Amino acid sequence: MTDEELQRYARQIVLPSIGSGGQKLLGQAHVTIIGCGGLGTIAAAYLAAAGIGRLRVIDPGRVELSNLHRQWIYAGAPEGSDKVKVFQSHVRDSNPHVDVEAICASYDQNHLANTQLVLDCTDNGRVRAQIARDCWTKNLNLISGSVLGLSGQVTTFKNGPTNPCRECLFPDQDDPTDQCAALGVLGPVVGVIGALQATEAIRNITTFGTSLVGKLLLIDAYDFEIRKISVKKRSHCHFCQI
């Protein structure tokens, strides 16, 4: 690391859980973030600030006025701008040490090439299910976050003989995040979940602490309740037990 990088990340390097070794791992990491909305912009911004070496951000969307209460990175960008291009420019201005690949397209499994970790920040149940299946098949750890109304959740899926897959968690494919447009979301809750996804990604890369594999972290901002529940592998799961 250069002297400028050592100074930039000094408050992070001093953490026993990170140290210079962990910072080096972050600088060597390649993370793919699918979805550059409320969750994705927060998660990606924190990962860029933390010094992740390479970020790939994928989203076909364009900036709309209705985005801005939770996607404040796009404030000031012209309506209709490609979200990923605006975000790429933001990171280049804030941390030139991070290489950001911006893909303005719908998700395709080819987008997972040459990456070590994936964050699902999308809000479409069908797409989320496909991402989870592809990551499981390719043995890529997947950090999944979602928000609906005043509630959010985060978990990590990791292919393993005793670990649950996404179908174990949602066996009927009924993903409540598809109702987001109709029921709405609170911006700060989206920010909290995105930040937790970034934290779990940093933990995954540097290997400190206990992961959310087999755990579902639930946050309800209405009553400020936080729970972590265990998720078991289903013995008759139609996907991971085939």
**Cα 42 → chain centroid:** 9
Residue 67 has a pLDDT of 86
Q: According to the 3-state scheme, what is the secondary structure of 73-124?
A: HHCCCCCCCEHHHHHHHHHHHHCCCCEEEEECCCCCHHHHCCCCEEEECCCC
| Ranges of the chain with pLDDT below 70 | 173-182, 242
User: pLDDT digits over 187-214, tens only?
Assistant: 999 999 999 999 999 999 999 999 999 9
Q: Domain map of the chain by residue range?
A: 3-139+186-210
Strand positions, DSSP E, the chain: 30-34, 54-58, 99-103, 117-120, 141-148, 151-157, 215-220, 225-230
Residue 242 has a pLDDT of 63
Average pLDDT, the chain: 93
Residue 171 has a pLDDT of 82
Residue 69 has a pLDDT of 87
Residue 182 has a pLDDT of 66
User: pLDDT digits over 138-172, tens only?
Assistant: 999 999 999 999 999 999 999 999 999 999 998 87
Domain at 3-139+186-210: CATH architecture: 3-Layer(aba) Sandwich (3.40)
Degrees to nearest 5, angle at CA 56 with 80 and 193: 80
